[in-house]
Amino acid sequence: MTTLDRDETHAPTPAPGPAAAGRPLPLRVAAPMAVAAGLALLVAFPPYGVWPLAPVGVALLAAAAHRRRLRAGAGLGFLTGVALFAPLLEWTNLHTGYLPWVLLSLLQAGYLALLGMATAWVSPLADRSRWAWPALTGLLWVGQEALRDRTPFGGFPWGRLAFSQDTSPLLRVASLGGAPLVTFAVALLGGLLVTAVWRGVVARRDARAEWWLAAAAPAAVAVGVGAASLLVPVATAGSGDTVTVAIVQGNVPRLGLDFNAQRQAVLNNHVDATIELAARVTAGQQRRPDLVVWPENSSDIDPLRNPTAGARISQAADAIAAPILVGAVLQGPDAGEVRNVGILWRPGAGPDLEQLYAKRHPVPFAEYVPLRDVARMVSDKVDLVRSDFVAGSTPGVVRAGPAVLGDVICFEVAYDGVVRDTVTGGAQLLVVQTNNATFDVAEARQQLAMVRLRAVEHGRPALMASTVGVSGFVAPDGRVSDATGFNTREVVVRQLRLDDGRTLATRLGWWPEVALAGLAAAALVGAAVLRRRQRIMPG
């Protein structure tokens, strides 16, 4: 008998439902359920995109960890985390070897271990009320993600529940409370699902004639939550001026970590593709763009210091007669330091240093190496990062003339505050410059799902420009247009309507996450109080 089971012998008679089961599920059942939970969550994400399985995965883990000892709950959560993150992040081992991928996957799985432990801890609260279990499930998932998104070294938000819902009706909820509220909605549905099944099974086991009623109420609420999400209004297009934007996906000579050994070829690819676009414009085959966007690392040769690189970019800008947002690597500000930037290059004038955005959230162990001596013992690939990237200090608000851009670079799209700061700073069009040459198409599609959520969250048109794909445009309701292939050279041009309004999510900012995570912390404290009362209750 577990500690929790002993506590429950002195507890008041619970309401019919999960508490009536008396014990946790047998471990021989719970362990496969935990693995199945991770696999269900995995398949919810791109490139698979079976989004209804996300609540199913949440429900399986909630059931497996319910009423367990804390150590067992942590172990089951860890199993779920490994089953989810090891295949989800498989693209990180394509060119770095297996060890960094394994360590990153295990680190992320550790946060689901904490979630499993927390789920076990709040079991007494879940047993006291029919509706407590779904709410607790949603709150704990938000709390876990809030922690994982920030720690260590600034966090790694990949694999948030919200990012699995890019084709789901729940995506609309992002306009009300951003990614945290979408995560809460997904986990709430999972909690309602487990409550319905658990209560129905227990009532059936106890031969209660109304057993189906025990399951029907939570199931009906789950259907209601899903249906209500369809009523959340989202704009299908912006409400402001119309601009024509071109995305240039120049491609690289070869995929892998050594793509930057071909820096001149990569730059030439983007210059040549832009000049070819200009020729089509001159021939009347294509509308002239008001703005051209190149991806991250399109010029890894510092164009401010290298006259040849600068001249080539100027040649492209002059040919197309439109400003180009160039993804470049700049030396400095100090010796041994570099910056990952988006810089506006104007025709006839060259670089506009007033419209330069330096990436605010460099990727640890990829763009800078903390604890380098320790990291080198894990993988000598860290020495490929010869110079540490320095973080920028201001939001990526770039005034490009016809449009105010909200520029974020690569993985920054996963961080709520980095994107939101551009919108509150006046951005009318969200731009994600990225380089997927070191990854694969699965990673690119996972990133595009994040762009779709950001477009809905802030009611803005958006685009993703990649060196190798996937690139494309995203409407304010999350629809993708003109998506490119992977490892191809393509140019796509589209007219967009800008927008400078603010959704409720933009206005509320981080407060939905603060409120939900705060309630999760309160639930943990409440469970501690309840457990203490149960221990001291006279038998």
CA distances 23 to 1, 64, 135, 529, Å, are 8, 11, 21, 21
| Rounded CA separation 230/302 (Å) | 48
A 10 A CB-CB count for 169 gives 17
| 383 Cβ contact list (under 8 Å, min separation 6) | 376
Strand intervals (E) in 139-238: none
- 3 state SS of 411: helix
Active site residue 410: yes
Of 129, 144, 215, 164, nearest to 57 (Cα)?
164
Which of 367, 410, 443, 490 is flagged as catalytic? 410
Q: In terms of C-beta density within 10 A (0-12 exposed, 13-18 middle, 19 or more buried), how is residue 347 classed?
A: middle
HSE-CB of 454 using CA atoms within 13 angstroms: 34
SS3 of 33-101: HHHHHHHHHHHHCCCCCCCCHHHHHHHHHHHHHCCCCHHHHHHHHHHHHHHHHHHHCHHHHCCCCHHHH
Q: Could you give the angle at the alpha carbon of 46 between the alpha carbons of 43 and 48, nearest 5°?
A: 45
Q: In terms of C-beta density within 10 A (0-12 exposed, 13-18 middle, 19 or more buried), how is residue 190 classed?
A: buried
| Rounded CA separation 59/57 (Å) | 5
Of 136, 134, 129, 135, nearest to 17 (Cα)?
129
CA 430, chain centre distance (Å)? 16
Sign of CA pseudo-dihedral 424, 450, 113, 135:
positive
Q: Which residues are catalytic?
A: 296, 359, 410
